[in-house]
Amino acid sequence: MDIPQTTILELISRYDVILLDAYGVLLQKEGVFPGAQKLLEHLQSQGKPYFVVTNDASKHLETTLQSYLAKGLNLQAKNLITSASLILGHFQQKNLKGARCLVLGPRDVARHVEEAGGVLVSIEEDAQIDALVICDEDGYPFVETVDTTLTILFRMFDQGRDVSLILPNPDLIYPKSKTSFGITSGSIALILEAALQVRYPNHTQRNFVRLGKPHPAIFQEAYRRCGNKNMVMIGDQVTTDIHGANNFGIDSALIATGVSSLLQLSSEPSLRPTYFLESLLF
What pLDDT score does 59 carry?
Answer: 97
Last residue of a domain, one of 210, 226, 261: 210
Q: Within a domain: residue 90?
A: no
Residue 185 · residue 173 · CB < 8 Å? no
**Residue 194: half-sphere exposure toward Cβ, Cα within 13 Å:** 7
Number of compact structural domains in the chain = 2
Give the structural domain span for 248: 5-83+213-277
Q: Within a domain: residue 282?
A: no
What pLDDT score does 231 carry?
Answer: 98
Residues 6+ apart with CB under 8 A from 36: 25, 26, 27, 73, 280
H-only helix segments in the chain: 8-14, 36-46, 61-71, 87-93, 110-115, 142-158, 185-199, 217-226, 243-248
- Residue 166 CB neighbours (<10 A): 25
End-to-end CA distance of the chain, in Å? 25
Last residue of a domain, one of 159, 185, 210: 210
What pLDDT score does 264 carry?
Answer: 58
- Considering only the C-alpha atoms of the chain, give the largest distance between any 2 of them, rounded to a whole number of Å: 60
Last residue of a domain, one of 210, 232, 257: 210
Nearest CA to 84 out of 211, 175, 192, 171 is that of: 211
What's 44's domain CATH number?
3.40.50.1000
Residues 6+ apart with CB under 8 A from 59: 67, 84, 106, 108, 109
Nearest CA to 170 out of 105, 223, 117, 240 is that of: 240
Is there a single domain that holds both residue 170 and residue 227? no
Is there a single domain that holds both residue 20 and residue 37? yes
Q: Within a domain: residue 88?
A: no
Structure letter (DSSP) for residue 116 = T
Task: Enumerate residue ranges in the chain where pLDDT < 50.
Answer: none
* Cα angle, residue 18 at apex, residues 17 and 24 outer, rounded to 5°: 165
pTM, entire model = 0.93
Residue 139 carries which side chain, given as an amino acid letter?
A: G
Q: Within a domain: residue 59?
A: yes
Is there a single domain that holds both residue 104 and residue 200? yes
Is there a single domain that holds both residue 165 and residue 272? no
Residue 90 carries which side chain, given as an amino acid letter?
A: H
What pLDDT score does 1 carry?
Answer: 58
> How many Å is the Cα radius of gyration of the chain?
19
Q: What residues does 253 pair with on adjacent strands? A: 234, 275
Distance separating alpha carbons of residues 138 and 183, to the nearest angstrom: 10
- Residue 179 CB neighbours (<10 A): 6
Is there a single domain that holds both residue 226 and residue 268? yes
Q: Within a domain: residue 77?
A: yes
Q: Within a domain: residue 53?
A: yes
Is there a single domain that holds both residue 189 and residue 130? yes
What pLDDT score does 261 carry?
Answer: 55
Structure letter (DSSP) for residue 204 = T
Strands 100-104 and 231-235: unpaired
Q: Within a domain: residue 192?
A: yes
